[in-house]
Every structure is written in structure tokens, then in C-alpha cells.
């Protein structure tokens, strides 16, 4: 777990430097090259995190897969819904979980989001393997309105 966190920290630090808006503003780093580098970073993150899967998150949730799709990291979690039906989980838990997930992603992945690397959390049922819900997060989702 320590190695995973260290690797992830290194990748985040690297991406925040290499993919910062400052490089793009100076014209030293063409957009196409930056996008290509970001795709490589996404692939590296997937490769590194995949080594430690599956991971138990809590008594209900297991992190089972991570994939790359262009500039999006796709995280897949299985939820042990207990006695609840898939429909009950969808209707009762989705909005509560969405708020917590988006807030967490905005805090933990801000450098990735600023670099145009998006995040998608996919939740499936442990029992039925049915898709329960998915939360797609971009930098736009993390911008707080000015009061």
C-alpha cells in the first residue's frame, strides 16, 4: 500500500509539473504533445495501481479495476449491497454517494483534473455484477461558484 501511495504521489507530482498550465501558456509545450504526455501518464497510473488490485476500501466496497480511456481514469468498485436490491441501492444511495465521491475526487485529484485528466468512478453490485451507477468528474465539476 505504501508503494502504491508513493507511486501515485510521484505521478501526481510529475503530472502537476509537466502538465501545468504554465507550460502551455509559454508556448514551449504544444497542446498535442501535452495531450500525448497526459495519455502516457494515465497509462502509467493504471499500470501502477493495477498491481495492487483488488483492494478492500471498507466493509461494503472493494476497488477491483482501473482502466484508461483516452484522458480518463476509469475506477471500478464493487459494492456489497447486503440485503438491499440493486434498485434500492440506485434509488437510496446514489445522490449521497455522488456528493461524497465528487468532493473526494476534487480534493485528491485536482492536479490531474487541471491537466485535463478526468476521473470516472463506476460502481457495480458484488452479487449481481449489475452496473449501479457511475460518476464522471472533470475540472468543471470542481469549480465552486463565486458567492
pLDDT tens per residue across span 5-56: 434 444 444 444 444 444 444 455 567 777 788 888 899 999 999 999 999 9
Residue 34 lies in a domain: yes
Cell numbers 502504491: residue: 4
Q: Is the pLDDT of residue 81 over 50?
A: yes
Q: Are 61 and 77 in contact (CB under 8 A)?
A: yes
pLDDT digits 0-9 by tens, 106-132: 998 988 998 899 999 999 999 999 999
**Looking at residue 33, what is its pLDDT?**
78
Domain that holds residue 68: 2-142
Residue 108 domain flag: yes
Domain membership flag for residue 83: yes
Q: How far apart are CA 14 and CA 20, in angstroms?
A: 10
Residue labelled with grid coordinates 476497488: 63
11 contacts 41 by C-beta, under 8 angstroms: yes
Q: What share of the chain is helix, strand, coil (3-state, %, to 5)?
A: 50, 25, 25
CATH number at residue 87: 3.30.300.250
Tell me whether residue 126 is in a domain: yes
Q: How many structural domains does the chain have?
A: 1
- Confirm whether 80 is domain-assigned: yes
Question: Residue 55 in contact with residue 43, Cβ under 8 Å?
Answer: no
94 in a structural domain: yes
Q: Please report whether residue 147 resides in a domain.
A: no
76 has pLDDT over 90: yes
Amino acid at each position: 500500500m505504501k508503494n502504491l501511495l508513493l507511486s501515485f504521489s510521484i505521478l501526481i507530482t510529475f503530472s502537476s509539473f509537466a502538465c501545468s498550465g504554465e507550460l502551455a501558456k509559454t508556448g514551449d509545450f504544444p497542446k498535442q504533445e501535452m495531450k500525448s504526455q497526459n495519455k502516457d501518464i494515465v497509462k502509467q497510473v493504471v499500470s501502477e495501481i493495477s498491481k495492487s488490485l483488488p483492494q478492500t476500501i471498507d466493509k461494503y466496497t472493494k476497488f477491483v479495476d482501473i482502466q484508461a480511456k483516452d484522458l480518463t481514469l476509469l475506477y471500478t468498485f464493487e459494492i456489497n449491497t447486503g440485503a438491499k436490491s440493486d434498485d434500492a441501492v440506485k434509488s437510496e444511495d446514489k445522490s449521497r454517494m455522488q456528493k461524497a465521491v465528487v468532493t473526494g475526487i476534487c480534493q485528491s485529484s485536482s492536479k490531474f483534473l487541471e491537466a485535463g485528466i478526468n476521473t470516472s468512478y463506476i460502481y457495480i453490485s458484488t452479487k449481481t455484477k449489475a452496473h449501479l451507477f457511475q460518476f464522471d468528474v472533470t475540472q468543471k465539476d470542481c469549480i465552486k461558484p463565486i458567492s
